Structure 1
Amino acid sequence: MEKIELKETGLNNVFTFIARDGSKRLATKSLVRGKPDEKTLKVWNDEYRIWDPYHSKLAALLVKGASIPLKKDSTVLYLGAANGTTVSHVSDIVSEGTVFAVELSPRAMKDLIRVSAPRKNLVPILADASHPVTYKNMVTEVDIIYQDVAQREQAEIATMNAGLFLKKSGFLILIIKSRSIDSTKKAHDVIHDEIKRLEDFFKIKEKIDLEPFHSDHAAVIAEYRK
């Protein structure tokens, strides 16, 4: 049997390993047994789910060396949870915390509910992230907001949610999708403008281009000035 050596990354339950082709890969130690169609590693009695940066912008951030402020007991508001792939890895990381996962699409929510069912720390919420007052009574104060939505007013959505839910000196991880904001402008200009909109409310810590994993995307890690 091939021996797999897992190396800690500094994030709870996140590891790297060297694949057969010699490339470095990411995996999270799973809180629950993975789905049959998931790529997993078995090491002793533990299961590790492979985390692909081409299918997860948060994984891409880690591969690119960003400092991600997630801890094992963090409370996270995840905006744009989609089918639950990335948010399930966040659930693995914050194994002693809670993830509130907001998704607008009823179709995606069906998958998200299936992902959430065995995970006691993952709370699916069918709602529009641009109207956070509609889920105000479902979400507690949080340490981190992770946002990955395809709506136009991305900085405004982040700021509104921070005002209701984010702790003082809490962190925002914002994935900026430039083509969802304005497909007629250069991606660099759109991203620059969105970051400027954040600066009245957040101290920008890092700005990371997500190429080659995700075209016309950037990520911002920022601290809230409540």
Structure 2
Amino acid sequence: MITPHRLKGLYTDGKRLFTRSIAPGRRPFEERVFKDQGTEYRQIDPKKSKLAAAIAKGVSQIGVMPGDTVLYLGASHGYTPSFMSDIVGDGAEGRGFIFALDFAPRVVRDLVFVSQDRKNIAPIMADANHPEQYFHKVMQVDYVYQDIAQKNQAEIFLKNCRMFLKKEGFAFLAVKSRSVDIAKKPKAVFNEIRDMLERSKDFVIVDYRELDPLEKDHCIFMCKKK
């Protein structure tokens, strides 16, 4: 039996993690789908999603809820954004919206296909290094989610949060240590990112998880804007 998870907008059968589909009958990633009492649920694979991996690793909160407006940086082909689309679109409060950004044309094309069945996703082709270039396309948001494999990923995160994230809004930063500095041990990179976030004085770090073995050499920071 599938029941509500402790994190709002998510569901579980005690072992697996699900969202309630806002586009029943559609499986854009050939994900496993289950029906329970007439409702369709999509299973999230924690080996394909940093968000799901963080939940599997016991993160206290993910910051995003039904009805939230989201800026998603590094949306790629849309796997995790599609599940976040279910979360922000869940239930009576589910009028949320996602600005899903990536810089690769082929990837954004795939996002467009995903968004055809999910009207609460707006694909944007842009470079997250330059938020001023898409400032006119994105409103102030409740939540920023970033999964970008670039050396300056922390700086990108801070720039976008300062420009778009509302006061007391939440932000999820996924860090791939090998993209920051392949010569350093992952833990050293993670500590440097933590120091950078704390020095910025813009955020409180509310949770931190290393994602091994689900995502090798990755961690996440769950932050709240002051």
* TM-score between the two structures when normalised by the length of structure 2: 0.92
SS in structure 1 at match of 2:127: coil
Q: Does 1:30 align with 2:21?
A: yes
Shift of 1:132: 0.8
CA distance in 1, matches of 2:156, 2:175: 11
With a CA cutoff of 8 Å and minimum separation of 6, indicate the structure with the bigger relative contact order.
2
User: 1:154: Cα distance to partner?
Assistant: 1.1
Among all aligned residue pairs of Structure 1 and Structure 2, give the percentage whose two residues are the same amino acid.
43
Which string of whole-angstrom CA distances, capped at 9 and with x for unpartnered residues, describes residues 68-92 of structure 1?
1111111111000000000000010
Given that residues 77 and 107 in structure 2 are in contact (C-alpha distance below 8 angstroms), is that contact kept between their aligned partners in structure 1? yes
Q: Check whether the contact 1:154–1:194 (CA below 8 A) recurs between aligned residues.
A: no
Q: What residue in structure 2 maps to residue 188 of structure 1?
A: 187
2:42 is aligned, of 28, 44, 49, to 49
Task: Return the letter of the residue paired with 1:17.
Answer: D
Q: CA separation in 1, counterparts of 2:119 and 2:23?
A: 10
After superposing on structure 2, the runs of 4+ consecutive aligned residues of structure 1 that deviate more than 4 Å are none
Matched-pair contact (CA < 8 Å) for 2:8–2:65: yes
**1:179 Cα deviation from its structure 2 partner:** 0.4
* Alpha carbons 1:12, 1:94 under 8 Å: kept: no
Select which of 5, 9, 32 maps to 2:5. Answer: 9
Match of 1:21 in 2: none
Query: 1:11·1:70 contact (CA, 8 Å) conserved in 2?
Result: no
Q: Secondary structure of the residue that 2:157 maps to in structure 1?
A: helix
Contact 1:98–1:122, Cα closer than 8 Å, also in 2: yes
Give the letter for the 1:14 counterpart. L
Number of residue-to-residue matches in the alignment: 216
Name the residue aligned to 1:77.
Answer: 71
Structure 2: gaps spanning 5 or more residues: 90-94
Matching residue of 1:203: 204
AA in 1 matched with 2:215: H
Q: Does 1:61 pair with 2:57? A: no
The answer to which of 193-202 and 153-162 deviates more is 193-202
Conserved in 2, the CA contact under 8 Å of 1:155 and 1:195?
A: no
Q: Does 1:165 align with 2:156?
A: no
Q: Which residue of 1 aligns with 2:80?
A: 86
Give the residue type in structure 2 aligned to 1:120.
Answer: K
Q: Which string of whole-angstrom CA distances, capped at 9 and with x for unpartnered residues, describes residues 1-24 of structure 1?
A: xxxx01211334311125xxxxx1
> Partners in 1 of 2:10 and 2:47 — Cα distance?
17
In 2: Cα distance, 1:136 partner to 1:206 partner: 29
* SS of residue in 2 equivalent to 1:61: helix
Task: For 2:116, give the aligned amino acid.
Answer: A
Q: Distance in 2 between matches of 1:40 and 1:175?
A: 26
- Summarize deviations over 1:21-77 as a string: whole Å, max 9, x none: xxx111111000322733111223321111000110100111122111111111111
